[in-house]
Amino acid sequence: MSSLKKAAIWTTGLALLLKLSGLLRESVVANEFGASAATDAYFLAFSFITLVVAMIATGFNNVFLPMYIKRRKNGSDLDDTNANGLLNWTMLIFAAVSIAGWSWSEKIVPAIYPVMSEAAEPIAIEITEVFFIFMTFIALAGLLESYLQSRRIFVPTLVSKLLATLMSALFALFFSDIWGIYSLAYGFVVGTVIGAIIQMYYLIRSDYKWKPTLRMESDFTKAFVILIIPSLLNSVVGQINLFVNKAFASGTIDSAVTYLNNASLLVSIPNAIYASTLAAIIFTLMSEQTEDEAKFKDTLFRGMEISFITLVPIAIGLWVVGDAAISFIYERGAFTAADTEGTYQALLFYLPIIIFQGMQLILSKSMYARGKTAIVFRISVTTIVLNFLLNWFLVDDYGYTALAFAASAVSVYYFAISMVVVYKDLGMSEFKRFLATAVRIAIPAILMGIAVWGAKELLNAEQWYSLVQLGVLVPIGIVVYVAMLRIVHPAGFRRFLGLAKRNR
């Protein structure tokens, strides 16, 4: 079995475990703290730190990986001089950011969230200070992902992310009586530090040789600086948009931030798995295949097809059974049935993100692999402006659910513009190839949704316990979808089945 196939198996399993641990964490938070000013404060502070993590891990990776692979292939950086210099410079920069952020948190947080409640503000400031103190380790964990990926080492990164999430849940479970909501932040920091150490260990075990140098070749430095700024901004478009949504939500009803956070977590599960597994592997392959157009096109098509086959039924399925999923994960302890309903209303408007953001991720990776960072940046800026305007005009009249609608509208726009750019280069034949596949996949998914909704109504399943609902309705959906996909799109079904068999 090839190294990439082994990586696909391990990373898919670990990515799923990562998201399950995320659900465990949020379930513990719901049980211990419910939906309150304290949870709103934590999610506001954590939104800021996830913005930084996304910028480091994704933005840095999108520029560094193609450049590094290309230079290693042509033999111009076999001793890792540029990689060492870049890593060391970046760590020094984030050490300075850590000190400055910790010193100015009392001014930064109120400036970002000016309409925060009085009860939430001091908690959000103090949790942000905790994150800034350990910003250097948080940045290191994100940077090492790119260095490991360049060597086709994917598993330690997911282990690192898993530890951060799992420790956060465990600290909340065992230390909430002592530290309250702050236990979540302490657990996240402990898991991140351990994860960074694990990643560094595996990087050193590879052929990478770290050196305490700040020297980089001038052409590498110039190219990296030119590309990194638009890449950093583009990498956090989704996070910025959610960040803006939560900032607006903090000025609506109590617990709105928590409702949006819990709903967006469910929506993020499929895309997070793709970002950590398929998207990472596909991006590595596309970076290696830029000189072979036929292979590049085929890799992109396979990535789009696999994404569509899995993302569309998940979105439709959550539309039907999302209320049961929310109830099972969150509704216990301090989290009430009314909180479940508030979260489900946000989820319904978030659902298009599952499809369009996941697909757009593959499109963006294809543009990065071909060095079109500036184009992605220009598209990204327009999405941020569009999201802000939609939030501004809709939130007063329609409340926090309008913020979820705005995020989905932006994801559709981003996907559509990216499609135009990518397939303009690849040709109309490739676009028609994808469109025909998308139609064949959409039909079984829609039929699946109708079947599950019909079963839910016929069996009066809404009266059942949430886990029983999921245990009955989800298998019905899977059976119907698989059967219809095999009939309507047999070629895609065989390709997907073949991939699963190879993975086993």
Instruction: Tell the burial category of 111 from Cβ atoms under 10 Å away from its Cβ (0-12, 13-18, 19+).
Output: exposed
Mapped onto helix, strand or coil, the DSSP state of residue 202 is: helix
pLDDT, tens only, 344-358: 999 999 999 988 887
Q: Is residue 1 over pLDDT 70?
A: no
| Residue type, position 443, single letter | I
Q: Is residue 470 over pLDDT 80?
A: yes
Q: How high is the pLDDT of residue 3?
A: 53
Average pLDDT in the chain: 81
- Range 382-404 average pLDDT: 87
Task: Write a three-state SS string for 144-189.
Answer: HHHHHHCCCCCHHHHHHHHHHHHHHHHHHHHHHHHHCCHHHHHHHH
Residue, of 186 and 13, whose pLDDT is higher = 186
Q: How high is the pLDDT of residue 32?
A: 81
- Range 126-132 average pLDDT: 91
Residue, of 236 and 399, whose pLDDT is higher = 399
Mapped onto helix, strand or coil, the DSSP state of residue 204 is: helix
Q: Which residue has the tokens 């933005």?
A: 59
- Domain-by-domain residue ranges, the chain? 1-235
Q: Which of 452, 441, 496, 456 is nearest to 478 (CA)?
A: 452
- Other beta carbons within 10 Å of 459: 14
Degrees to nearest 5, angle at CA 358 with 401 and 23:
65
Structural contact between residues 241 and 407, judged by C-beta atoms closer than 8 angstroms:
yes
pLDDT-above-90 percentage for the chain: 20
Q: Which of 475, 252, 447 is nearest to 342 (CA)?
A: 252
Question: Considering only 170-174, 181-185, 218-222, 369-373, which range has the smallest mean pLDDT?
Answer: 369-373
pLDDT, tens only, 64-84: 777 777 777 766 665 677 778
Confidence band of 63 (pLDDT split at 50, 70, 90): confident
Tokens at residue 145, please?
Answer: 């992902």
pLDDT, tens only, 450-465: 999 999 999 999 889 9
Q: Is residue 387 over pLDDT 80?
A: yes
Q: Rounded to an integer, what distance in angstroms lies between the CA atom of residue 336 and that of residue 33?
A: 11
Q: Which residue has the tokens 């302890």?
A: 333
Q: How high is the pLDDT of residue 293?
A: 67
Q: Is residue 504 over pLDDT 70?
A: no
Confidence band of 52 (pLDDT split at 50, 70, 90): confident
pLDDT, tens only, 182-231: 999 999 999 999 998 998 888 888 877 778 888 888 888 887 887 777 77
